[in-house]
Amino acid sequence: MGCGASAGSQIAVSLSPIGASDRWLESKFGGAGRTADLITNNIVLASATRPDWNTTDYLVFELSADDEGVFELTGKLAVEKSGRFYSKRQESVGTWRIIGNVLTLVWPLSLKTDTVIAVKTPRKWINHKSHLSLEVLQPIGENPYWFTPEVCSDKFKAVAVSGEQFECPVCFFELYKYPSGVIRLHSRRSCCHYMHYECAQYLLKSAKGSSKHGICPLCGADFAEVKPMPSLASEPREWFSTVDLDYGGELDQVEVIEALGCVLPLDRHKLDKHVKAHWHEWDPDGDGTITLHEFCLPQRGLRDWIMGNVTLLKADHPPLPIDVPVLDMQPREWFQFWDRNANGTLERDELVRALIRTFCTNENGQTSLPQAHDMREVAMGLWVAVGHEPFDMVTFEEFIKPYGLMDQFLHNQTHCAYFGMDDAG
């Protein structure tokens, strides 16, 4: 599943030279004799710029080997859009993935994550905070199916594993269970994501020594401070201004839904349904957004409606699962239990979430953030140690093979190597 040192050479033979000004492509990729159709179906060439770079980067995107076989047989992609890319600037190979309108890049040398979004067209992707800009150069005309976003929007349209039921992207426990906050840089929000205050502080502490900033685990945005979420009940004005991502004095449906899910025990499906159904009541001028005045209107505003209907919006099932299969006794049942989309694989974040929610909760359902942070480091470290890339997906057979993820995890758990405790104590 992982890509090693030979990945660059594997991409190399897939690309024909494009233009006299890009002779480096020919020397790097040795593409003589390849057809234009191969570029159209199997390769995407893009330029990338950012203010802090002194030169334009050129990125060569390739569909992953597993997905490519599906694409060649069916003409369309039935699995996640992901693969590898070659960076001319770094002269090495990283990994990429598209979900919604978000293209995520994990850079080869630093392993830093960057995201760009398709705002108006699949041909150009940007990050409004870092000003990273990526433009598709080849193929000309339209992107291949596997490099086309599901939607174009100026909002972040990718629901991560943690976002399906408003969980913190660090510990994977529900956001409302602990004080939460927004991450900021230079006194402005770094991104649209929420996390537990303590988890954000943990990321800042972990970054010391390697970077002066913390990094959002969902989009790679840098941050230097965490602002606690104000109370929706007692501080509605402060809550509104904190949620207002672009400081425009208005909130749209996406901003409202994500922020409410951060501070209240709500079911995402129910919240989506009711917000859309009642939006016209809170937005009487029909401009698609709600002002602070409209938000705070007594009895008729969004804030009062939410506070009076929390019970209606709650989930029907307990947030933390009970009767989780025992990993070492029922590995297949455990694997299937945590395979949230029933596709027969676990992604990295699915595995991290599964281990945290299996082993960092006691018999009474109480959770521990410090244990979750330790477990996160264990899981992330094991993922890399067994040779997997960030966007790989692991089948059950790979999971249980000798010296695989399950074997390594159970070995480390038995010896308490990562938990800072002694069973005999």
**Domain boundaries of the chain, sorted by first residue:** 7-147, 161-313, 331-414
Which is more confident, 1 or 304? 304
Residue 18: pLDDT over 90: no
Give the pLDDT score at 424: 38
Give the pLDDT score at 157: 82
Would you put residue 4 in left (φ > 0), alpha (ψ -120 to 50) or beta? beta
Angle among Cα 44, 48, 50 to the nearest 5 degrees reads 165
pLDDT in tens, 121-161: 999 999 988 899 999 999 998 999 999 999 999 888 877 88
* Mean pLDDT confidence for 181-189: 95
Q: What is the number of alpha carbons within 13 Å of residue 305 lying toward its C-beta?
A: 16
Assigned token pair, 66? 């597993």
User: Which of 44, 45, 47, 15 lies closest to 29 in space, CA to CA?
Assistant: 15
Q: Which residues of 118-128 are buried (b: 16+ CB within 10 A; e: fewer)?
A: beeebbebbbe
d(CA 104, CA 113): 7
Query: Which pLDDT band holds residue 365 (cuts at 50, 70, 90)?
Result: confident
Give the pLDDT score at 136: 96
- Residue 278 CB burial class (10 angstroms; 0-12, 13-18, ≥19): middle
Which is more confident, 64 or 260? 260
Query: Which pLDDT band holds residue 9 (cuts at 50, 70, 90)?
Result: very low
Write the DSSP symbol of residue 43: E
pLDDT in tens, 103-120: 999 987 777 889 999 999
Give the pLDDT score at 260: 97
Residue 423: pLDDT over 70: no
Residue 402: pLDDT over 90: yes
Query: Which pLDDT band holds residue 383 (cuts at 50, 70, 90)?
Result: very high
Give the pLDDT score at 35: 37
Residue 71: pLDDT over 60: no
Query: Which pLDDT band holds residue 31 (cuts at 50, 70, 90)?
Result: very low
- Residue 261 CB burial class (10 angstroms; 0-12, 13-18, ≥19): buried
Q: At what angle do helices 268-282 and 253-263 cross, to 10 degrees?
A: 130
Percent of the chain predicted with pLDDT > 70: 82
The segment with the largest mean pLDDT, out of 13-22, 35-44, 78-87, 169-178, is: 169-178
d(CA 411, CA 404): 11
d(CA 162, CA 173): 8
Assigned token pair, 242? 């904190």
Assigned token pair, 202? 């943990």
Residue 32: pLDDT over 50: no
User: Which of 113, 124, 114 lies closest to 148 in space, CA to CA?
Assistant: 124
pLDDT in tens, 254-292: 999 999 999 999 999 999 999 999 999 999 889 999 999
As a whole number of angstroms, the longest Cα–Cα distance in the chain is: 71
Assigned token pair, 266? 């709500």
Mean pLDDT of all residues in the chain? 84
Give the pLDDT score at 34: 42
- Residue 155: partners with Cβ closer than 8 Å, 6 or more residues away: 117, 192, 252, 254
Q: 32-46, 116-130, 304-318, 369-383: which range is least confident on average?
A: 32-46
Q: Alpha carbon of 375 to those of 115, 242, 378, 379: distances in Å?
A: 26, 31, 5, 6
* Mean pLDDT confidence for 408-422: 64
* Mean pLDDT confidence for 386-405: 93
Residue 207: pLDDT over 80: yes
> Which residue, chain included where needed, has tokens 């938000």?
295
Query: What CATH number belongs to 331-414?
Result: 1.10.238.10
d(CA 71, CA 334): 31
d(CA 408, CA 424): 22
